[in-house]
Amino acid sequence: MSIIDKAKEAGNLIKDKSFEMVNDDKFADLVIMAASKQESVNKILKARGANFRISDIDIGMGIPPHVSFGIRPNIRRRKK
């Protein structure tokens, strides 16, 4: 077995273990917490007159797991 094959095998083992470490209930809790954080921060940004909002949430199940938020300008459509 070549060094590249061994590296691929090790990568697959790590990927499998990262999914085993997070059960569905804990992952659902993480999604709910991230969405709640998005809503509460967006309310604060709106109250402060900021022209941007958290628009995206990216949750990565890896080692270590991570949550990233995407910030975008708040584009308001004018009423005609």
Burial of 23 (0-12, 13-18, 19+ CB in 10 A): exposed
Q: Is residue 80 part of a domain?
A: no
Mean pLDDT of the region 53-69:
85
Judged by DSSP in three states, 72 sits in: strand
* Residue 46 resides in a domain: yes
The per-residue pLDDT of the chain, averaged, comes to 82
Report the pLDDT value the prediction gives residue 57, as an integer from 0 to 100: 94
Q: What is the domain range of residue 35?
A: 3-73
CA count, 13 A, side-chain hemisphere, 45: 16
Average pLDDT score over residue span 55-68: 83
Asked, for residue 78, whether it belongs to a domain, the answer is no
**What's the total number of domains in the chain?**
1
